[in-house]
């Protein structure tokens, strides 16, 4: 599919810009990830991709998400730039969006950029894209027990617990808490400017403006 319009999509918050990373920006984001995302003993991801010390698949993963983009199932992996500097990824994904009006999100930040409110601000941008930009009704997230930061971001933004399950990123089962935020409960804590969305709407399964 021609994803060119997605490169014009910009989400701006007071401190951040979220956009699809260009080739050299993917390399910079891999360097951020190589600098560490979480303590080695605690795996926050359902797939243990950070256990590879080279992160050799980093670029291939992002390229695969673009190559495999379908209107029926899309994964938007936005680079997060803090005052111009790449700091992490905020993903928004959905299946059959026009029917489900539901998105999921996932994210990471380099450790040195954590605990400064950036995680809350970038999730806010993703939720504004989903609820205000695309007309979503529900946003889902989740985290393994012990991922205080992720669960706290969700709690602060109004998500409620909807269930749980187990995941085993390193072969040992961990409990996972699932949370969801309904459109009517959404109150963005900071303003988000959305640019360039009109041309992207068909890629999300929506009619063009
Ligand atoms: C999850 C993540 C993106 C959150 O980003 P962040 O910038 O660190 O989060 P914020 O600074 O916005 O903090 C949000 C809240 O969590 C709290 N928090 C953050 N890290 C915490 C920690 N290690 N222990 C306790 N509380 C923590 C903050 O104090 C804040 O709550 P408060 O406003 O009540 O004080 C980031 O921590 C991260 O990349 N973690 C590793 C990867 C990951 O877990 N991804 C999600 C997988 S589901």
pLDDT tens for 91-123 read 999 999 999 999 999 999 999 999 999 999 999
Domains of the chain: 4-204 (3.40.630.30)
180 Cβ partners below 8 Å, 6+ apart? Answer: 138, 139, 140, 141, 159, 160, 162
Query: Among 63, 60, 132, 134, which residue's Cα sits nearest to residue 93?
Result: 134
Q: What is the pLDDT of residue 209?
A: 78
The helix/strand/coil state of 109 is strand
Alpha helices in the chain (DSSP H): 23-34, 58-67, 97-100, 118-128, 148-156
- Best residue for ligand 1 mutational test, from 115, 120, 142, 178 (most atoms within 8 Å of Cβ): 115
For the whole model, what pTM was predicted? 0.98
pLDDT above 70 covers a percentage of the chain that reads 100
Report which protein residue has its CA nearest ligand 1's atom 9.
Answer: 119
Distance CA 162, CA 178 (A): 6
> Residue 20: pLDDT above 90?
yes
Model confidence at 164: pLDDT above 90: yes
Please give the distance, rounded to the nearest whole angstrom, from the Cα atom of residue 1 to the centre of ligand 1.
Answer: 35
Q: Are 165 and 178 in contact (CB under 8 A)?
A: yes
**For the chain, percent of residues with pLDDT exceeding 90:** 99
- pLDDT at residue 1, as a whole number: 84
pLDDT surpasses 90 at 187: yes
How far does residue 181's CA lie from ligand 1's centre (Å)?
A: 18
DSSP state of 22: P
167 lines ligand 1 (CB under 6 A): no
Ligand 1 mean position, distance from CA 141 (Å): 14
Give yes or no for residue 3 CB within 6 A of ligand 1.
no
**Exposed, middle or buried by CB within 10 Å (0-12, 13-18, 19+), for 120?**
middle
Task: Write out the H or E segment, with its range, that includes residue 166.
Answer: strand 160-167
Compute the distance from residue 59 Cα to the ligand 1 centre, in Å: 25
Cα of 86 vs centre of ligand 1, distance in Å, is: 18
| Residue located nearest, by CA, to atom 43 of ligand 1 | 108
């Amino acid at each position: 599919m021609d994803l060119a319009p997605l490169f014009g999509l910009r989400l701006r918050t007071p401190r951040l810009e979220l956009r699809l990373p260009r080739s050299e920006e993917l390399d910079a984001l891999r360097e951020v990830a190589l600098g560490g995302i979480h303590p080695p003993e605690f795996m926050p991801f359902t797939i243990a991709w950070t256990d590879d010390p080279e992160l050799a698949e980093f670029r291939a993963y992002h390229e695969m998400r673009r190559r495999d983009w379908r209107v029926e199932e899309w994964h938007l992996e936005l680079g997060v730039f803090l005052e111009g500097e790449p700091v992490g990824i905020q993903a928004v994904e959905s299946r059959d969006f026009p029917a489900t009006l539901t998105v999921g999100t996932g994210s990471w930040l380099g450790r040195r950029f954590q605990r400064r409110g950036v995680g809350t601000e970038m999730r806010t941008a993703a939720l504004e894209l989903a609820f205000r930009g695309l007309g979503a009704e529900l946003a889902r997230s989740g985290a393994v027990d012990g991922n205080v930061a992720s669960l706290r971001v969700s709690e602060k933004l109004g998500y409620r617990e909807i269930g749980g399950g187990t995941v085993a990123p390193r072969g040992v089962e961990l409990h996972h808490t699932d949370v969801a935020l309904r459109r009517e409960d959404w109150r963005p804590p900071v303003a988000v400017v959305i640019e360039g969305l009109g041309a992207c709407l068909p890629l999300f399964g929506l009619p063009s403006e």
